[in-house]
């Protein structure tokens, strides 16, 4: 909008210059007409003087010429009056043109000042945009570093989880082996307890050439141990 106003002001100044030059040409023409009229009047005066000397012999001719000259003089006077009025109008137009040109110059100066203020504001906005861009670049770099750190942490966590799964698998296998061994030991202990009970029974009854004891004593049977249970790969004791 400011550029359009500047172009409009420039066009108005060019039109004003064209009008001023046109008025100057018209003024020059008016002056030339006035000069020609004055020359004509001078010639008329000379003619009147010459005709005065020849008045006696050329009375009728002189009267006709005087009439013609009177008409021409009246026409010339009317022309001079019209030219004076036109010159006055041209002067008024020149004054108005000068006033408009001065107003256009003031408007142009004001637009130039507004343009300077707008350029300062644009420079400020560009500075803010530059600062914002720098901050965005800094945040982008920080985001990139954070993503890189997260990737490293994820990689380390994956490695740790993989190792932990391996350790859990090894521990589960070890617990399975221990459970199998415990079952075997428990089976052997049960067999020994059963054998002791059979020996005691044979001894009391005197079977297999075994002597019974003098006083009957009761042998408390062995308590059957409970096998440990395996829960989620871990050995849990039985209560």
What is the per-residue pLDDT for 152?
A: 87
For the stretch 84-97, what's the b/e string if a residue is b when 16 or more beta carbons lie within 10 angstroms of its beta carbon?
eeeeeebeeeeeeb
* Whole-angstrom distance, CA of residue 189 vs CA of residue 180: 14
Find out whether 191 and 200 touch, Cβ atoms under 8 Å: no
61 alpha carbon, distance to own chain's centre = 95
Tens of pLDDT, residue by residue, the chain (239 residues): 555 555 555 545 555 556 667 777 888 888 888 888 888 888 888 887 776 676 666 666 767 777 888 888 888 888 888 888 888 888 888 888 889 888 888 998 899 898 888 988 898 898 888 889 988 988 888 888 888 888 888 888 888 888 888 888 888 888 888 888 888 888 888 888 888 887 878 777 766 555 555 554 444 444 544 545 544 444 444 44
Please count the other Cβ atoms lying within 10 Å of the Cβ belonging to residue 107: 16
What is the per-residue pLDDT for 169?
A: 85
What is the per-residue pLDDT for 14?
A: 54
What is the per-residue pLDDT for 9?
A: 57
* Whole-angstrom distance, CA of residue 149 vs CA of residue 155: 10
What is the per-residue pLDDT for 58?
A: 63
Give 91-125 as a DSSP string. Answer: HHHHHHHHHHHHHHHHHHHHHHHHHHHHHHHHHHH
Q: For residue 220, which of 239, 202, 193, 238 has the smallest C-alpha distance?
A: 193
What is the per-residue pLDDT for 212?
A: 55
Give 155-224 as a DSSP string. Answer: HHHHHHHHHHHHHHHHHHHHHHHHHHHHHHHHHHHHHHHHHHHHHHHHHHHTGGGPPPPSS--PPPPPPP
CB-count exposure of residue 115 (10 Å: 0-12, 13-18, 19+): middle
What is the per-residue pLDDT for 180?
A: 85
What's the predicted TM-score (pTM) here?
A: 0.29
Q: What are the Cα distances from residue 11, in Å, to 16, 17, 104, 185? A: 8, 10, 10, 115
What is the per-residue pLDDT for 233?
A: 42
Q: For residue 168, which of 233, 236, 237 has the smallest C-alpha distance?
A: 233
Residue 137 parent element (H or E): helix 59-205
């Amino acid at each position: 909008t400011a550029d359009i106003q500047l172009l409009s002001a420039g066009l108005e100044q060019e039109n004003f210059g064209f009008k001023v030059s046109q008025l100057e040409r018209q003024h020059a023409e008016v002056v030339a007409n006035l000069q020609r009229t004055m020359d004509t009047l001078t010639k008329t005066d000379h003619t009147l003087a010459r005709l005065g000397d020849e008045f006696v012999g050329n009375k009728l001719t002189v009267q006709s010429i005087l009439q013609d000259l009177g008409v021409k003089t009246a026409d010339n006077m009317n022309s001079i009056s019209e030219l004076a009025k036109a010159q006055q109008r041209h002067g008024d137009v020149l004054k108005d043109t000068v006033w408009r040109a001065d107003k256009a110059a003031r408007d142009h100066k004001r637009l130039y000042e507004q343009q300077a203020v707008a350029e300062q504001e644009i420079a400020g906005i560009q500075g803010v945009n530059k600062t914002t861009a720098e901050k965005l670049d800094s945040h982008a770099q920080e985001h990139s570093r954070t993503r890189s750190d997260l990737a490293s942490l994820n990689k380390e966590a994956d490695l740790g989880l993989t190792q932990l799964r391996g350790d859990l698998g090894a521990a589960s296998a070890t617990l399975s082996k221990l459970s199998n061994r415990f079952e075997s030991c428990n089976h052997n202990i049960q067999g020994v307890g059963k054998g002791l009970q059979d020996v005691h029974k044979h001894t009391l009854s005197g079977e297999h050439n075994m002597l019974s004891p003098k006083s009957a004593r009761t042998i408390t049977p062995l308590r059957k141990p409970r096998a440990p249970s395996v829960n989620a790969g871990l050995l849990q004791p039985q209560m």
